[in-house]
Amino acid sequence: MKNNFLPPNLVSNLQQVLNNRKGDTNEEEEANEAAPTTSTSSTTEIDESKPIVLVTNGDGIDSEGLTCLVQALVKDNLYNIQVCAPQSDRSVTGHAVTVCETITVSSTEISGVSCAAYEVA
């Protein structure tokens, strides 16, 4: 069995967000019964012929570098872009671990880009 070093709250919350995006009603209902979530589903469609690229950083969801990178990737229209980044700058907390606290993931938008984006608080 493979060890999972991610905090269970993060894994649970991300699973709920992904289930909401997929539109799996049975799994979504089970996930909602297991734990409440503040996430919302995204309206961005996934083209299954394109690879999915996860873009993340430590500078925060509103950082200029993240925005420029995502805009360039979306402009090429070669990938399904998924963005997950901290709500605020967390650059200096590289080895920080959140234990026994709820981690919230919320849908957000990146200026000038149509892609799935989530901020983690």
Is 1 inside a domain boundary? no
Is 104 inside a domain boundary? yes
* Nearest alpha carbon to residue 89 among 59, 119, 66: 59
Q: Is the dihedral of CA 101, 9, 26, 22 positive or negative?
A: positive
Is 2 inside a domain boundary? no
Number of domains comprising the chain: 1
Question: 13-28 pLDDT, tens per residue?
Answer: 677 777 777 665 554 4
Is 39 inside a domain boundary? yes
Give the pLDDT confidence score for residue 40 in this predicted structure. Answer: 41
Residues of the chain with pLDDT below 70 are: 1-13, 22-45, 94
Cα distance between residue 86 and residue 73, in whole Å: 20
Is 37 inside a domain boundary? yes
Give the pLDDT confidence score for residue 111 in this predicted structure. Answer: 83
Is 3 inside a domain boundary? no
Q: Three-class SS string for the chain?
A: CCCCCCCHHHHHHHHHHHHHHHCCHHHHHHHHHHCCCCCCCCCCCCCCCCCEEEECCCCCCCCHHHHHHHHHHHHHCCCEEEEEEECCCCCCCCCCCCCCCCCCEEEECCCCCCCEEEEEC
C-beta of residue 13 within 8 angstroms of C-beta of residue 104: yes
Residue span of the structural domain in which 115 resides: 8-120
Give the pLDDT confidence score for residue 116 in this predicted structure. Answer: 87
Is 62 inside a domain boundary? yes
Is 105 inside a domain boundary? yes
C-alpha to C-alpha distances, 12 to 34, 86, 90, 103, 107, nearest whole angstrom:
9, 17, 22, 9, 16
Give the pLDDT confidence score for residue 100 in this predicted structure. Answer: 82
